[in-house]
């Protein structure tokens, strides 16, 4: 299951995504965590110290390796250099799986040992470098995440959790269509609700499954405000947490000491994500992937690469559930 956490800056989406990742790990669910926010805080929220977090390999800086591996023997892709962030897989492409070893994970992911003894695999887009300032767009780095998601096949009891960039910036690419469920973290404020409405309106035309998590809710009045403004999209609300405050100070308690209401909220997030499995539509997923690739090809990528990137689309190929253990895998 591919899950995104979005919301305005400061809403608490990184904190909630890290708690959800910890919950999945404690439940023995295989999970890949991806930090796709320009502010790279997911690693420290998962317990890494600042030095460890700074030493994480930047996925955006390893894009040539990612392209070369995913290209595989796909005859429709003339070279790795002609691959762009939206290039879809086809016959001969290499696909990524949640539970496996491959050169992309070896170069771009690192295991994070949680204090509960569980390990999650973490991938980070990477922060803005000094050389990027004034000349680069952060979405050029996030493109590595999009390309990986385009080539990732995951099963029911496997999770990829992505902490997305803040606000409506997520819509600067087609990556917002890559998820089974998107959790929008909203504070009980006019700004928090405004971000929800903007996201909802953008997502509506693409059939995006969206649930709102009300955060920093101080009492019944805050909860009622969100219920009135968000309606049936509101899944649950959470308030302050002494556990979270300690974690943010670098003094984390054991995860099993997280407050009971927060533990229950995480269970509800997990249940809501699991429920979306029955609505999975791999044909629509592939169709949307192709749609955004053709848009990018026409608007800028054909001119940049000097190639007709529409030819990269394999009309007979549909991304699908990973084969059962022991079954033959694509090359």
What pairs with residue 31 in β-bridges?
Answer: 159
Positive or negative torsion for Cα 42, 258, 179, 169 = negative
| Residues whose CB falls within 8 Å of the CB of residue 140, separated by 6 or more in sequence, listed in order | 60
Neighbours of 326 (CB within 10 A): 6
Break the chain into its structural domains and give their ranges.
Answer: 2-308
Integer angstrom CA distances of residue 137 from 6, 133, 142, 172, 289: 19, 9, 9, 11, 22
Question: How far is it, in rounded angstroms, from Cα 270 to Cα 153?
Answer: 19
pLDDT at position 131 is 44
pLDDT at position 233 is 96
Token representation of residue 172: 């600067």
Answer whether 234's CB lies under 8 Å from 207's CB.
no
CATH dotted code for 2-308: 3.40.50.300
Helix axes 139-150, 63-71, angle to 10 degrees: 20
Question: How far is it, in rounded angstroms, from Cα 244 to Cα 251?
Answer: 10
Answer whether 146's CB lies under 8 Å from 67's CB.
no
Coil/strand/helix, residue 110: strand
Tens digit of each residue's pLDDT (9 = 90 or more) over 125-153: 976 454 444 434 445 568 899 999 999 99
pLDDT in tens, the chain (331 residues): 999 999 988 889 999 999 999 999 999 999 999 999 888 899 999 999 899 999 999 998 899 999 999 999 999 999 999 999 999 999 999 999 999 999 999 999 999 999 767 899 999 997 645 444 443 444 556 889 999 999 999 999 999 999 998 766 677 678 899 999 999 999 999 999 999 999 998 888 888 999 999 999 999 999 999 999 999 999 999 999 999 999 888 887 889 999 999 999 999 999 999 999 999 999 999 999 999 999 999 999 999 999 999 999 999 999 998 766 555 544 4
Token representation of residue 10: 């400061």
pLDDT at position 167 is 67
Answer whether 89's CB lies under 8 Å from 70's CB.
yes
Instruction: Give long-range contacts, CB 8 A cutoff, 24+ apart: 321-327.
Output: 321/153, 321/155, 321/282, 322/95, 322/97, 322/153, 322/154, 322/155
pLDDT at position 274 is 96
- CA-nearest of 226, 289, 235, 248 to 2 is 289
Pairing relationship of beta strands 159-163 and 152-153 according to DSSP bridges: unpaired
pLDDT at position 331 is 46
């Amino acid at each position: 299951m591919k899950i995104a956490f979005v919301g305005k800056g400061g809403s608490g989406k990184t904190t909630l995504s890290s708690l959800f990742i910890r919950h999945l790990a404690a439940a023995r669910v295989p999970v890949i965590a991806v930090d796709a926010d320009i502010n790279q805080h997911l690693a420290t929220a998962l317990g890494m110290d600042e030095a460890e977090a700074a030493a994480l390999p930047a996925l955006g800086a390893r894009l040539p390796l990612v392209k070369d591996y995913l290209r595989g023997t796909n005859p429709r892709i003339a070279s790795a250099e002609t691959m762009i962030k939206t290039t879809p897989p086809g016959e001969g492409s290499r696909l990524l799986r949640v539970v496996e070893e491959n050169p992309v994970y070896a170069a771009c992911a690192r295991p994070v040992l949680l204090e509960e003894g569980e390990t999650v695999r973490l991938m980070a887009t990477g922060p803005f470098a000094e050389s990027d300032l004034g000349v680069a767009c952060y979405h050029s780095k996030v493109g590595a995440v999009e390309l990986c998601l385009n080539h990732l096949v995951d099963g029911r009891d496997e999770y990829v959790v992505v902490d997305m960039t803040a606000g409506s910036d997520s819509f600067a690419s087609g990556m917002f269509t890559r998820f089974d469920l998107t959790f929008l973290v909203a504070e009980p404020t006019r700004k928090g609700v405004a971000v929800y409405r903007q996201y909802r309106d953008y997502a509506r035309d693409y059939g995006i499954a969206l649930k709102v998590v009300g955060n920093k809710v101080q009492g019944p009045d805050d909860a009622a405000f969100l219920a009135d403004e968000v309606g049936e999209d509101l899944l649950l609300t959470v308030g302050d947490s002494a556990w979270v405050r300690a974690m943010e100070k670098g003094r984390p308690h054991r995860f099993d000491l997280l407050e009971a209401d927060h533990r229950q909220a995480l269970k509800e997030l997990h249940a809501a994500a699991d429920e979306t499995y029955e609505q999975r539509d791999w044909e629509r997923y592939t169709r949307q992937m192709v749609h955004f690739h053709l848009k990018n090809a026409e608007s800028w990528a054909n001119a940049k690469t000097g190639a007709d990137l529409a030819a990269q689309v394999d009309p007979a190929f549909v991304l699908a559930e990973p084969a059962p253990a022991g079954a033959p895998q694509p090359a």
